[in-house]
Amino acid sequence: MIKGVDSAPTKASLSSKKASCKKTAKLEKYPLKVSALNSHQKEVLSVGPHITVLLDEAVHALAIKPHGVYVDGTFGRGGHSKKILSQLGVDGRLIAFDRDLAAVESGQSIKDTRFQLIHSHFSKMQERLAEMGVLQVDGVLLDLGISSPQIDEAGRGFSFRYDAPLDMRMDQSRGQTAAEFIAQTTEQQLAEVIKNYGEERFAKPIARAIITERNDGRAITTTGQLAQIVANTVTRFEPGQNPATRTFQALRIFINQELEELSLTLPQCLNLLAPGGRLAVISFHSLEDRIVKQFIRNQEHRDDLPANFPVRAADLPQPKLKSVGKAIKPGLSEVKSNPRARSAVLRVAERTSIL
Ligand SMILES: C[S@@+](CC[C@H](N)C(=O)[O-])C[C@H]1O[C@@H](n2cnc3c(N)ncnc32)[C@H](O)[C@@H]1O
């Protein structure tokens, strides 16, 4: 998967002043203008393959039962789904979701009666499964964020590497684009988005520069314009990183309501999992990972009563989840062959039999 290119920096990189470098010039190789490319060049840009992250680890974590029912909440290009199918028996079942129509179209090539692919946000998981008569499953996988094809297809507007319409929606059939958001937001709201979702220390000056440009009659409609405004404003950024990385990440998370989607979905996974069923979540930045970690912890340690509260241990709420192992990160060789994997973290939990 991907996400890494425009993804969040680590905590260490956030706090490391030494690691940042002073801007010496404007962006040198300015974004490729998509409208200036010929059709072959456009196609080349759009066909970046998706390399599945933590493929073996995530599918192993699900401890697949051949007759089980599994959910892949983030089909992407089907790397995890195909591996799950390869481990299911003839009467096993896999139901996959993706909110991106291009991902769903790519999955039409999988001709397998055990497999169904649904165009939907994963936050509708429980409802969609209930409509299909599925009330319990043996495992759920979420491989969060965006896929390489989403980033690499210039016209999707996720990347500062190309100059293209500023869209950023995973589901292009609905919702507000990043350009539409910028056209109507306030400076304060924009600064909050950039700070909260991008952990960008220059959030305020960036927001001010964007809104000034907009209010001067220059609508911000392309990734190139946005990247240039940020580059003109940010004076310190990590070496090797584009100054617009955090701003693009922030807008993407906001436009797609990524953290809300995750928070709405984890309790549904808990409701759906059969005793012994597994939840496996791959996050790509600390904001997501924090939500996953906290959710598992809250279900695992349901003893948040004051220390001397007069109640017997046996009367405390019993855990509905137990962690399976420690957080798993890609090894050096995976990161070397797929740099976009570098920020991935896999967390796994198992449903107990407590109702
Ligand atoms: C990292 S990719 C998954 C890659 C996949 N595991 C593979 O091996 O090909 C994430 C995918 O999840 C989808 N996605 C992200 N958030 C979603 C949500 N809330 N609901 C449904 N799909 C979502 C994205 O559109 C993208 O296709």
Has residue 351 got a pLDDT over 90?
A: yes
Distance (angstroms) between ligand 1 centre and the Cα of 25 equals 36
Residue at token pair 């609508």? 219
Based on the domain organization, do 141 and 170 belong to the same domain?
Answer: no
Tell whether the model's pLDDT for residue 305 goes beyond 80: no
Read off the CATH number of the domain in which 37 is found: 1.10.150.170
Residue 293 reports pLDDT greater than 70: yes
Do 272 and 142 lie in one domain? The reply is yes
The protein residue whose alpha carbon is closest to atom 7 in ligand 1 is 79
Closest C-alpha among 105, 97, 27, 112 to residue 265? 97
| Residues facing residue 339 across a β-bridge | none
pLDDT at 33: 54
Domain-located, residue 43: yes
Among 233, 255, 277, identify where a domain stops.
255
What domain range is 202 assigned to? 18-48+156-255
* C-beta 181 within 6 A of ligand 1: no
Residue whose structure tokens are 């962006």: 27
Q: Is residue 4 part of a domain?
A: no
| Residues 107-150: tens digit of each pLDDT | 999 999 999 999 999 999 999 999 999 999 999 999 999 999 99
Q: Are strands 21-22 and 137-143 parallel, antiparallel or unpaired?
A: unpaired
Ligand 1 atom with the smallest distance to the CA of 265 is 19
- Cα–Cα distance between 156 and 168 in angstroms, integer? 6
Q: Which phi and psi (to 5°) does residue 98 adopt?
A: -155, 140
Q: Does 5 reside within a domain?
A: no
CATH code for the domain of 339: 3.40.50.150
Which of 224, 255, 286 terminates a domain? The answer is: 255
* Token pair recorded at residue 234: 């940010």
Looking at the structure, tell me whether residues 250 and 262 fall in a common domain. no
Closest CA to ligand 1's atom 4: 76
Q: How far apart are CA 96 and CA 173, in angstroms?
A: 19
Atom 22 (ligand 1) nearest CA: 98
**Are residue 173 and residue 314 in the same domain, yes or no?**
no
Check pocket membership of 222 for ligand 1, CB cut-off 6 A: no
Task: Assess whether 124 and 262 both reside in one domain.
Answer: yes
Record the pTM.
Answer: 0.87
Does residue 26 belong to any structural domain of this protein? yes
Task: Tell me: do 188 and 322 sit in the same domain.
Answer: no
169 lines ligand 1 (CB under 6 A): no
147: Cβ below 6 Å to ligand 1?
yes
| Residue in 1, 7, 98 to alter for ligand 1 test, most ligand atoms within 8 A of Cβ | 98
Closest CA to ligand 1's atom 5: 76
3-state secondary structure of 342: coil
For residue range 213-268, list pLDDT tens digits in order: 999 999 999 999 999 999 999 988 888 889 999 999 999 999 999 999 999 999 99
Name, in order, each residue with C-beta under 8 angstroms of 56's C-beta and a sequence gap of 6 or more: 83
Residue 200 placed within a domain = yes
Question: What was the pLDDT predicted at 49?
Answer: 82
Pair (162, 30) in one structural domain: yes
* Residue 280, ligand 1, Cβ within 6 A: no
Q: Are residues 64 and 210 in the same domain?
A: no
Tally: H helices and E strands in the chain: 15, 11
Instruction: From 51, 170, 340, give the residue whose CB has the most ligand 1 atoms within 8 Å, as the site to mutate.
Output: 170
Total structural domains within the chain: 2
> How many Å apart are CA 332 and CA 27, to the nearest integer?
30
Measure 144 CA to ligand 1 centroid, in angstroms: 6
Task: Residue 28: name the closest of 245, 272, 228 by CA.
Answer: 228
Atom of ligand 1 nearest to the CA of 100: 25
Q: Of 234, 255, 276, which marks where a domain is finished?
A: 255
